[in-house]
Amino acid sequence: MSITLRDISKALNISVSTVSRALTDSHEIGEETKQKVLAYAKEHHYVPNRMARSLKVGKTRSIGVVICSIDNNFVAQMLDGIDQICTENGYQIIIMQSKESYEQEQACINLLHASGVDGIMISPSYQTTDFSHLKELQSQGFPVVLFDRISEKMTAHKIAANNLSGAYQATTHLISNGYTRIAHLNSNATLTTTAERFEGYKKALEDHGINYQEELVAFCDTAQQIDQSVADAMEQLLKQQPQAIFTATDLLSTKVLAYLMEHKFTVPKDIALIGFSNSDLAAVLNPSLSTVRQPSRQIGELAAQTLISLIKGKDIGPEETILLDTELQIRKSSGS
């Protein structure tokens, strides 16, 4: 371990409190002693003990981040944004994975809270339908921010992409490429995220005079057995002979592309494809994948910013939902 305040105080024959004041740059301290302390501290590589300070002040300057999985391009990008803001503001992040399990998510939240994090930001698992645990924390004045996947079941500061307009744009793009039989593959989660992408799809059809057909839509179990679920859904959808598919999540997009390739479909000739995806490899996929790209880093940054403001007790107004615009990236998979 490092040296402590007392080590310094003994070595310099001054009191612990004086040393503390010197190091915290207090105004009630003599310039001379201050320099003496600072010099000694630097020479002996003094680093304040975070544990002790945290215990004393009741804050840890750490933030809990709960996500479904770290091994996910899009999530990693958000984490990068979160990390940058937190580092800039002197906060440490503790990342925990729910692995799309509600139980594990609860465990994460409990552990984080017990660890004394100053606040929690969470992108709920697809399984999560009950937010009472989070609500309870929140009602005790504990700062909570929802990001990416948000829900209407909870009142809180929420940051996410504008899923409705993103889905609308993607569907409209397919329509303007001449497709009318457009299938839609989505998650079966009960999150706002899911619902809004579905809404965007329907709205685009409606606005362009295309009848919505239930048979052209499938909802996959994205929490478990995703491969099997996608295969089942695709088999179902393909019976309806769609001309194009709009997939609603990163994972679904690439899995569908892989499925189509495996089953010898030529994209976009046999069937066109556009999907939500943030993979940097979309451009080098086979064929290059047209995507709705979410502002992942900004979502992370803004969410972190918001949580830190909350922690610092700044008045940032009532809980509100901030939606960031997506970006339509047209490549080959969606036809000409």
Class of residue 228 by CB neighbours under 10 A (exposed 0-12, middle 13-18, buried 19+): exposed
231 lies in the site for its own copies, by CB under 8 A: no
Residue 278 partner contact from its own copies, DNA, none using kind-dependent CB cut-offs of 5 to 8 Å: none
From the list 50-58, 143-151, 197-205, 317-325, the region that binds its own copies by CB under 8 A is: 50-58
By CB under 8 A, name the one of 154, 236, 238, 287 that touches its own copies: 287
Residue 214 partner contact from its own copies, DNA, none using kind-dependent CB cut-offs of 5 to 8 Å: none
70 lies in the site for its own copies, by CB under 8 A: yes
281 lies in the site for its own copies, by CB under 8 A: yes
Give φ, ψ of 220 to 5 degrees: -95, 150
Residue 27 partner contact from DNA, its own copies, none using kind-dependent CB cut-offs of 5 to 8 Å: DNA
By CB under 8 A, name the one of 14, 76, 154, 231 that touches its own copies: 76
47 lies in the site for its own copies, by CB under 8 A: yes
DSSP code per residue over 42-97: HHTT----HHHHHHHHS--SEEEEEES-SSSHHHHHHHHHHHHHHHHTT-EEEEEE
92 lies in the site for its own copies, by CB under 8 A: yes
93 lies in the site for its own copies, by CB under 8 A: yes
Instruction: Please state the separation of Cα 11 from the chain's center in Å.
Output: 49
Q: Which is nearer to DNA, 14 or 154 (by Cβ)?
A: 14
Residue 240 partner contact from its own copies, DNA, none using kind-dependent CB cut-offs of 5 to 8 Å: none
**Neighbouring residues of 310: CB distance < 8 A, sequence distance ≥ 6:** 119, 143, 145, 157, 316
Number of residues that bind its own copies (CB under 8 A): 46
**Neighbouring residues of 244: CB distance < 8 A, sequence distance ≥ 6:** 174, 177, 179, 181, 182, 183, 268, 271, 272, 273, 274, 334, 335
Amino acid identity of residue 289, one-letter, is L
Closest distance to DNA from the beta carbon of 12 (Å): 9
Q: Which is nearer to its own copies, 110 or 225 (by Cβ)?
A: 110
Give φ, ψ of 214 to 5 degrees: -55, -35
CA-to-CA distance for 212 and 204, rounded, in angstroms?
10
Residues near DNA, by CB under 7 A: 1-2, 4-6, 13-18, 20-21, 23-24, 27-30, 32-34, 46, 48-49, 52-53, 55-58
User: Of residues 101-130, which lie at the interface with its own copies (CB under 8 A)?
Assistant: 110-111, 113-116
Residue 279 partner contact from its own copies, DNA, none using kind-dependent CB cut-offs of 5 to 8 Å: its own copies
**Neighbouring residues of 154: CB distance < 8 A, sequence distance ≥ 6:** 131, 134, 135, 138, 146
Closest distance to its own copies from the beta carbon of 169 (Å): 24
**141 in the Ramachandran plot: left (φ > 0), alpha (ψ -120 to 50) or beta?**
left
Report the largest interatomic distance among the alpha carbons of the chain, rounded to a whole angstrom: 85
CA-to-CA distance for 107 and 97, rounded, in angstroms?
10
Q: Which is nearer to DNA, 20 or 321 (by Cβ)?
A: 20
Closest C-alpha to 125, from 141, 101, 106:
101
Q: Which is nearer to its own copies, 114 or 315 (by Cβ)?
A: 114
Closest distance to DNA from the beta carbon of 57 (Å): 5
218: three-class secondary structure by DSSP = strand
298 lies in the site for its own copies, by CB under 8 A: no
Closest distance to DNA from the beta carbon of 59 (Å): 10
Amino acid identity of residue 281, one-letter, is L
Give the residues lining the site for its own copies (CB under 8 A).
1-2, 47-52, 54-55, 58, 60, 69-73, 76-77, 79-80, 83, 92-95, 97, 110-111, 113-116, 254, 257-258, 261, 279-281, 283-288
